[in-house]
Amino acid sequence: MKNESTEKTKTKPEETLVEYNIGENKIKLTPSIVQKYILNNNSGQITMPEFKFFCEMAKTNKLNPFTHEIYIIKYKDNQATVVVSKQIILKRATTHPKFDGLLNGIFIKTPDGKLEKRTGGIILENETLVGSWCEVFRKDWSRSMYGSYTIKEIKQERNPSWQKMPVTMAIKTATARTCRDAFPEDLGGLYEKDEIEMPQDVEFNTGFSESDLNCSCESEAIKADNSTQEPKIITEETNKIDLADL
């Protein structure tokens, strides 16, 4: 009698699927999709809790990971970090119905030792960048939200963008932080990649394009246009202060 063996087909376990809509687009995420297409690099394997946290952040904030509005960074065995693209925080702040404008700029030390507060990012070769600031206005607040930060506090030493354009990075960081404080219900928990500290043994990849690295800093402020709800650019004069005034 001939024995016949039956070969069993091994099937892959069904993956966890997360679905949500952004407008007319349906976003579908599984651990393998996030690992292969959305993870910032291939040096780490995301865990199920990290996958679920990423999906919840994307779903709650209505962000599309396939257009790089939000993504996840994982370095070896370090805990994964969820970050958003560099324009998401500013875009969400300036389109908020209660947004009423913002100003930002830098603090510099002049050759004679004076501390000067400037709107925008103009700095001379013999001057030293020591900090940055941002002021955000809301229509429902009688006072503005103001944040000022020292370079030592916010600079990411291993980020090449800080080496190439420290003034731009200082202003961007101050703006992101102050906007989060002004609109915590919409921006709380959202961080840009350039705000987080990376492990020492990891090569830092910023995601900046060539045009970003070649951009210039202009003195500017953003103010809401009540007729169109679109932000518009206004100029602001430089204010000089002494160290004793701070």
Higher pLDDT, 128 or 199: 128
Cβ neighbours around 160 below 10 Å, total: 14
User: What Cα–Cα distance (Å) separates residue 98 from each residue in 138, 139, 141, 226, 232?
Assistant: 5, 5, 9, 10, 15
Q: What is the pLDDT of residues 131-148, one digit of tens each?
A: 999 999 999 999 999 999
Q: What is the pLDDT of residue 78?
A: 83
Q: How confident is the model at residue 229 (pLDDT cuts 50, 70, 90)?
A: very low
Q: What is the pLDDT of residue 63?
A: 95
Helix (H, G, I), strand (E, B) or coil at 231: strand
Helix (H, G, I), strand (E, B) or coil at 33: helix
- For residue 163, give both structure tokens: 């080496």
> What pTM value is reported for the model?
0.72
Rounded to whole angstroms, how far apart are CA atoms 120 and 217? Answer: 7
Q: What is the pLDDT of residues 49-72, one digit of tens each?
A: 999 999 999 999 999 999 989 989
Q: What is the pLDDT of residues 71-80, one digit of tens each?
A: 898 888 888 8
